[in-house]
Amino acid sequence: MEFATFADRAAEIEAEPADLETVDHVRALFEESTGEIPEEDGADLERGDDELEIVARYVQGRVFPAWESTTLDIGPSSCYEAIARAAGTNVGPADVEDRLAELGEIGDVAASYEYGGQRGLGAFTGDAGGNALTVREVDETLRDLAAADGSGSADRKIDLLFGLFNQCSNEEARYLARLVLSEMRIGVGEGTVRDAIAAAFEVPTERVERALQVSNDYGRVARVARDEGLEGLDAMDLEVGRPVQAMLAQTGTVTGALEEWEEAAVEWKYDGARVQLHYDPDGIEASNAETRVFSRNMEDVTTALPEVVEFAEETLEVPVILDGEVVAVDGDGSPLPFQEVLKRFRRKHDIAKAREDVTVRPVFFDCLHAEGTDYLESPLTERHDQLVELLAEADEPDSDSLDEIRGLSLLWRTDDPDEIESIDAEALESGHEGIMLKDPNSAYSPGRRGKHWRKRKPDVETLDCVVTGAEWGEGRRATFLGTFELSVRNGDSGDSLETVGKVATGITDEKLADLTELLEPHVQTEEGQRVELEPAVVFEVGYEEIQSSPTYSSGYALRFPRFRSVRHDKDPADADSLERIERIRDE
Q: Which residues are catalytic?
A: 269
The CB-of-463 to ligand AMP minimum distance in angstroms stands at: 24
- Residues 310 and 321: their CA atoms lie apart, in Å, by 16
- Residues 254 and 396: their CA atoms lie apart, in Å, by 30
Report DSSP letters for 278-322, one per residue: EE-TT--TTSSSSEEEE-TT--B-GGG-HHHHHHHHHH--S-EEE
Q: Is 426 in the site for ligand AMP (CB under 6 A)?
A: no
Q: Is 171 in the site for ligand AMP (CB under 6 A)?
A: no
> What is the footprint of ligand AMP within residues 544-583 (CB under 6 A)?
none
Q: Is 249 in the site for ligand AMP (CB under 6 A)?
A: yes
SS3 268: strand
The CB-of-560 to ligand AMP minimum distance in angstroms stands at: 19
* Nearer to ligand AMP among residue 91 and residue 248 (C-beta): 248
Of 269, 278, 292, 454, the residue at the interface with ligand AMP (CB under 6 A) is 269
> Using the 8-state DSSP alphabet, how is residue 335 labeled?
B
Q: Is 113 in the site for ligand AMP (CB under 6 A)?
A: no
Of 125, 141, 378, 409, the residue at the interface with ligand AMP (CB under 6 A) is 409
Q: Is 201 in the site for ligand AMP (CB under 6 A)?
A: no
Q: How many residues bind ligand AMP (CB under 6 A)?
A: 12
Q: Is 384 in the site for ligand AMP (CB under 6 A)?
A: no
Q: What is the 3-state secondary structure (H, E, C) of 406-420?
A: CCECCCEEECCHHHH
Of 64, 270, 279, 480, the residue at the interface with ligand AMP (CB under 6 A) is 270
* Nearer to ligand AMP among residue 174 and residue 383 (C-beta): 383
Please, are residues 183 and 61 in contact by the beta-carbon 8 Å criterion?
yes
Nearest residue relative to ligand AMP (C-beta): 274
* Nearer to ligand AMP among residue 180 and residue 436 (C-beta): 436
Kindly give the pairing relationship between strand 449-456 and strand 248-252. parallel
Q: Name the residue type at position 517.
A: E
Q: Is 365 in the site for ligand AMP (CB under 6 A)?
A: yes
x/- map, 335-354, ligand AMP, by CB under 6 A: --------------------
Q: Distances from the Cα of 177 to the Cαs of 104, 181, 542, 543, 583, in angstroms?
A: 13, 6, 52, 52, 55
Q: Is 439 in the site for ligand AMP (CB under 6 A)?
A: no
SS3 277: strand
First-to-final CA distance of the chain: 59
Q: Is 308 exposed, middle or buried (0-12, 13-18, 19+ CB in 10 A)?
A: buried
- Residues 134 and 7: their CA atoms lie apart, in Å, by 11
The CB-of-558 to ligand AMP minimum distance in angstroms stands at: 24
Q: Is 294 in the site for ligand AMP (CB under 6 A)?
A: no
- Residues 26 and 472: their CA atoms lie apart, in Å, by 69
- Residues 363 and 208: their CA atoms lie apart, in Å, by 32
Q: Is 364 in the site for ligand AMP (CB under 6 A)?
A: no
Q: How many CB atoms lie within 10 A of CB 485?
A: 23
The stretch near ligand AMP (CB under 6 A) out of 97-105, 158-166, 201-209, 263-271 is 263-271
- Residues 127 and 160: their CA atoms lie apart, in Å, by 12
The CB-of-246 to ligand AMP minimum distance in angstroms stands at: 6
Q: Is 267 in the site for ligand AMP (CB under 6 A)?
A: yes
* Nearer to ligand AMP among residue 143 and residue 452 (C-beta): 452
Q: How many CB atoms lie within 10 A of CB 22?
A: 21
CA dihedral 241, 245, 249, 250 (to 10 degrees): 170
Of 47, 119, 355, 455, the residue at the interface with ligand AMP (CB under 6 A) is 455
- Residues 321 and 446: their CA atoms lie apart, in Å, by 13
The stretch near ligand AMP (CB under 6 A) out of 65-73, 131-139, 267-275, 299-307 is 267-275
Length of the chain: 587
* Nearer to ligand AMP among residue 394 and residue 503 (C-beta): 394
CA contacts within 13 A on the Cβ side of 310: 7
Please, what is the Cα angle at 143 between 34 and 309, to 5 degrees? Answer: 110
Beta strands, E only, 83-154: none
> What is the footprint of ligand AMP within residues 8-67 (CB under 6 A)?
none
* Nearer to ligand AMP among residue 297 and residue 303 (C-beta): 297
* Nearer to ligand AMP among residue 47 and residue 296 (C-beta): 296
Of 325, 340, 426, 439, the residue at the interface with ligand AMP (CB under 6 A) is 325
The CB-of-428 to ligand AMP minimum distance in angstroms stands at: 13
- Residues 504 and 561: their CA atoms lie apart, in Å, by 8
* Nearer to ligand AMP among residue 172 and residue 433 (C-beta): 433
* Nearer to ligand AMP among residue 1 and residue 249 (C-beta): 249
The CB-of-9 to ligand AMP minimum distance in angstroms stands at: 37
The CB-of-311 to ligand AMP minimum distance in angstroms stands at: 17
Binding site residues, ligand AMP, CB under 6 A: 248-249, 267, 269-270, 274, 296, 325, 365, 409, 436, 455
